[in-house]
Amino acid sequence: MKYQLTALEARVIGCLLEKQVTTPEQYPLSVNGVVTACNQKTNREPVMNLSESEVQEQLDNLVKRHYLRTVSGFGNRVT
């Protein structure tokens, strides 16, 4: 079954992939790190201003669909 990603889901996945490649020492990212990556003003089209709750909702949806998995590290929830 095909699943069409929403614009927000695509942004979240794109940011996670980019940060995994460009800053592997920061990976996995905290939710705050994903929010910062999604709202980055350089190299982003369109520029977004997502809240933590909006990003968390997208992360939860992607985890439910098995596109992402959540891991715990040092007491912080990271993706």
Strand partners, 71: 78
pLDDT for position 74: 60
Looking at the domain that runs over 7-78, which CATH code has it been given? 1.10.10.10
pTM for the structure as a whole: 0.84
Q: Which residues of the chain have pLDDT under 50?
A: none
Q: Domain coordinates of the chain in residue numbers?
A: 7-78
Q: What is the pLDDT of residues 53-75, one digit of tens each?
A: 999 999 999 999 999 988 876 65
Give the DSSP per-residue string, 12-25.
HHHHHHHHHHH-GG
pLDDT for position 58: 97
pLDDT for position 73: 64
pLDDT for position 75: 53
